[in-house]
Each structure stands twice: as structure tokens, then as C-alpha cells.
Amino acid sequence: MAKNDLIGGSIWDEYSQNVQDRMNNPKFMGEITQDEAKARGGKLIVADFGAESCGDAVRLYWLVDEKTDRIMDAKFKSFGCGTAVASSDTMAELCIGKTVDEAVKITNLDVERAMRDNPDTPAVPPQKMHCSVMAYDVIKAAAAQYKGVDPEHFEDEIIVCECARVSLGTIKEVIRLNDLRTVEEITQYTKAGAFCKSCVRPGGHEKREYYLEDILAETRAEMELEEKQAVLDAQISGKFDDVSFENMTVVGQLKAIESVIDGEIRPMLMMDGGDMEILDLQKDAEGKFDVYIRYMGACSGCASGATGTLYAIENVLQENLSPNIRVLPI
């Protein structure tokens, strides 16, 4: 039967030749027996891992030199699709010659990259990326068995996207640093959700504990709450350095303007016998803030009140608070 009868030609084309070769002729499929391990002077490790999402399973055999912790040989058995076979075959090859500590650092992305025909073209279609995750998980299981620890010992963070190995902490940090507002932006910055998409929202290929939609909503809510608290704190303390003028309440904006005027503008006016007061603050449809002022004392009859002095006041407020401020004398 032709391959196009088994799978759509366009989908088949998304598999690298390397993957297709390993599907048909895996190099490291098989097992290592206890007798063989004894004859070769190594410790035999046999680890299993099954993927709940698709029913695939893999068994990994390691022959480890206990003196150096180096993996002398590796074999596998795979119960699953062709992609799982190819991924497991590649994973076994990558393990050979490494120490156990080095092997446990192999990720599913390393497996996928090793199966590419060229560096810039993915080896498998996005919906099959999860197959390489099994390889990563069974390595952890084997290393844990060798070291006598729990497999979770090798996870120092909560992983949200198994395909791209992106942690919860990384996603939250990227949202905050770049002010991200959509799941698509998260994917663009981190690659989370770019492959099987199970982590984007409930109902995907595999049930997840965390979803990008929920993380985004919760992080944005935290950011908004922190901004509101910062505004309140600034209004109480009179310090507005950490709050943008646009995010302040009207009361906060007026206090910020008064603070700048008292510190940098009023002393200069009073040296010439003048002064000023704020009459009103209004925001127009374009996001501009119109500050209405009235000159007092010597400034009230000064010609520069509509030119040089006015421009100086406006520039100081723009530099200290917002470029969207306009000053209008009445």
C-alpha cells in the first residue's frame, strides 16, 4: 500500500526523511538482558513511561558503567505510532556515551532537532510533537531509577507546555516584562502552545493542569491590581515615580501636577513676583490632558505668559509626567 493511502500526502511531507527512515528501520530497537549486562560489566536499568494522551508507551534500557555513571548502551521498545518509534530511537542514540546527569538534560526539543534533515525545518508536524515528550519523560524515569530518587527530582519548575518545555514561571515573567495581552503573543515570545496546543485551553489533545488562557487572565488581573495599588500608594505618599500619569486617577493626576509645579515651576515664578494655580484638568478623545491654569501676581499681566513662560511650564510637566500634557492659560 502506498504511503499516500495511509496518510495524506501533504501531512506525510511534514515528516523529515530522517524520521521516515527511523520509523521503518530503527537502529536501537530491542532490549538488553540481565545476562548481557553482567557479561559487559554494567548495571541494567529498565524504565517505562506511557502517554495518557494517545495510549503510546515506551520502555528504555540503559547499560550504565557504575564507576563513571556513563551510559554504555541504550535500547528501547515502543508501543505506539511511527513518530513515537522514531523519537524513541533518536532518544536512545542521544543517551549513549553520556553520563546519567548529562542524559537527563536531553529534552524533547533536542530529540526533535536531532531528527531534522536541516536545522530550519521541523522534523514532525506540530500535532505529533508530543511523541518526543515521551522520550524526555522516560529518560527522567531511567535516571531516577539509577539514582534512587523520584522522577520529579529532575523538575525544578512547573512545566506548562511539555512540547516546548516552557515553565509557568517563564510564561508569567514574559507576560509581565512585555505587557502581553494575547495567547498568540505568548506563543510568539516563548513557543508555548506552538505545537500540539494542548496547553492553550481545555479540550485539546491532552488534559493539562495549567492553560495559557488561564495563566494570561490571572497574570493580567494581578498586574492590574498591582497598578491600582501603586496608584493608591502614590496618592497617599505623594510619590508618583513608579506610576504612569495615564494610569493615575484624576485626583492622583492633579496631585502629581501640583507636586511638579511646587518643586520646579512655582519657585521660578515667585522670584519675579508671580504665581499660578490649576483650575481644571480634562482629557480629550485623543488621550491628551489639558491643564487649565491661571497666572497670579506679576505673571498675570506678563506678555511671556502666553509664550516663553507657558512653553517652559508645559515642557516641565511633559518631561516629568507625560508627553500628552498641554497647558492652557485662562
Catalytic residues: 54, 131
Cell numbers that stand for 156 in this block? 525544578
Give the whole-angstrom CA distance, residue 14 versus residue 10.
7
Cell numbers that stand for 35 in this block? 545476562
Give the whole-angstrom CA distance, residue 323 versus residue 288.
9
* Strand ranges for 80-186 from DSSP E: 159-161, 166-167
Enumerate the β-bridge partners of residue 310. Answer: none
Q: Which of 49, 53, 52, 74 is nearest to 62 (CA)?
A: 74
Question: Contact 110/62 with Cβ under 8 angstroms?
Answer: no
Cell numbers that stand for 73 in this block? 548502551
Residue with cell 500634557: 325
Buried b (16+ CB within 10 A) or exposed e, 283-306: eeeeeebebebebeeebeebeebe
- Integer CA distances (angstroms), 322 to 176, 247, 251, 265, in order: 22, 11, 16, 16
Q: What are phi and psi of 167, to 5 degrees?
A: -85, 165
Residue type, 75: K
As a whole number of angstroms, the longest Cα–Cα distance in the chain is 105
Give the whole-angstrom CA distance, residue 76 versus residue 79.
10
